[in-house]
């Protein structure tokens, strides 16, 4: 059910080692930033393919080479890698540069708490309840951002993200009812009551979102970092639901999780597009 390629992440040091140990005919290094950003600084040998043109020119990327995508700090390149992996057109590795060109240039990024996926070795019902916590945690994160939204990222966009997180939770609640026994369904709270009762202490990282919210509040002026965090959150949720679809026990379960992964991918692209738009505006103003 899940034949999509895995996406691998390279540190700046690992990328340097990769470049030094591979022939240029074996890989392509693809910069998905805006032309103005590329002109200021880029990794030697990198090809420019802005994210907004990515789908249109996907066929121009060599399918039999290792493909390494990078951007400024990692958000847009992750979106590009997801599109490349989902296309099924590439037969070699798909990579992203962790921390983007900022890391390549040795610039320190704000020290954000690490993220990890939670354990998947659980029953379907337990996984659904965990996923509900994930969506509540993400909803809390976006609603908290609305109190002091980052520059160049509209309040309407953040509100839309929060609304979609709650909508995803409704889908999970419906799926939970469908896989529960008659007795469990009788004692199950309505969606609104259940959603309100959730602590939202898991998110896509598997951890309490409080450290991420503390970090976000300390970096409200750094629009790019906040959007990059949102991209990572949605990528991890996308990856989670994609794998839950793979482990589904029947067609109905698979379809529910595929729909959720599709929605997360759309969110991922939308957020990355916001970043691309913001960077293009900066380039025009320079």
- The CATH classification of domain 124-285, taken from the options 1.20.1260.10, 1.10.10.10, 3.20.20.100, 2.30.33.40: 1.20.1260.10
pLDDT at 100 over 60: yes
pTM: 0.73
Please tell me the distance from the alpha carbon of residue 115 to that of residue 119, in angstroms, as a whole number. Answer: 13
Structural domain spans, the chain: 7-104, 124-285
Length of the chain counted residue by residue: 286
Mean pLDDT of the chain: 82
How much of the chain is in helix, strand and coil states, percent to nearest 5?
60, 5, 35
pLDDT at 119 over 70: no
Which long-range contacts link 206-209 to residues 24+ away (Cβ below 8 Å)?
206/115, 206/116, 206/117, 206/118, 206/119, 207/113, 207/115, 207/116, 209/137, 209/138, 209/140, 209/141
| Number of neighbouring beta carbons within 10 Å of residue 268 | 24
Which of 277, 267, 184 minimizes the C-alpha distance to 231? 267
The model's pLDDT over 181-203, given as tens digits with 9 standing for 90+, comes to: 888 888 899 999 999 999 887 65
CATH H superfamily, domain 7-104: Rhodanese-like domain (3.40.250.10)
The model's pLDDT over 34-62, given as tens digits with 9 standing for 90+, comes to: 898 999 999 999 999 998 888 889 999 99
* The predicted structure's pLDDT at residue 268: 83
Three-state secondary structure call for residue 76 = helix
Per the listing, tokens 């493909």 go with 67
């Amino acid at each position: 059910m899940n034949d999509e390629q895995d996406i691998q992440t390279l540190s700046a040091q690992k990328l340097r080692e990769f470049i030094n140990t591979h022939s240029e005919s074996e890989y392509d290094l693809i910069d998905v930033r805006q032309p103005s950003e590329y002109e200021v600084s880029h990794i030697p040998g990198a090809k420019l393919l802005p994210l907004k043109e990515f789908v249109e020119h996907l066929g121009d990327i060599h399918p039999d080479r290792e493909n390494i995508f990078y951007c400024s700090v990692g958000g847009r390149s992750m979106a590009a890698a997801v599109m490349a992996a989902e296309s099924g057109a590439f037969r070699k590795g798909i990579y992203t540069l962790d921390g983007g060109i900022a890391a390549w240039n040795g610039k320190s990024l704000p020290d954000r708490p690490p993220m990890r996926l939670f354990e998947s070795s659980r029953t379907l019902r337990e996984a659904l309840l965990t996923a509900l916590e994930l969506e509540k945690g993400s909803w809390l994160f976006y609603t908290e951002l609305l109190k002091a939204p980052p520059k160049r990222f509209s309040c309407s966009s953040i509100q839309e993200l929060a609304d979609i997180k709650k909508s995803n939770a409704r889908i999970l609640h419906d799926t939970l009812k469908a896989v529960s026994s008659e007795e469990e369904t009788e004692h199950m709270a309505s969606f609104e009551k259940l959603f309100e009762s959730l602590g939202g202490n898991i998110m896509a990282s598997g951890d309490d979102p409080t450290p991420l919210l503390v970090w976000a509040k300390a970096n409200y002026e750094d629009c790019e970092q906040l959007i990059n965090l949102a991209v990572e959150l949605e990528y991890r949720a996308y990856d989670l639901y994609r794998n839950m679809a793979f482990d589904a026990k029947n067609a109905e379960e698979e379809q529910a999780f595929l729909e959720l992964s599709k929605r997360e991918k759309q969110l991922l692209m939308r957020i990355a597009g916001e970043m691309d738009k913001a960077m293009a505006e900066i380039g025009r103003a320079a």
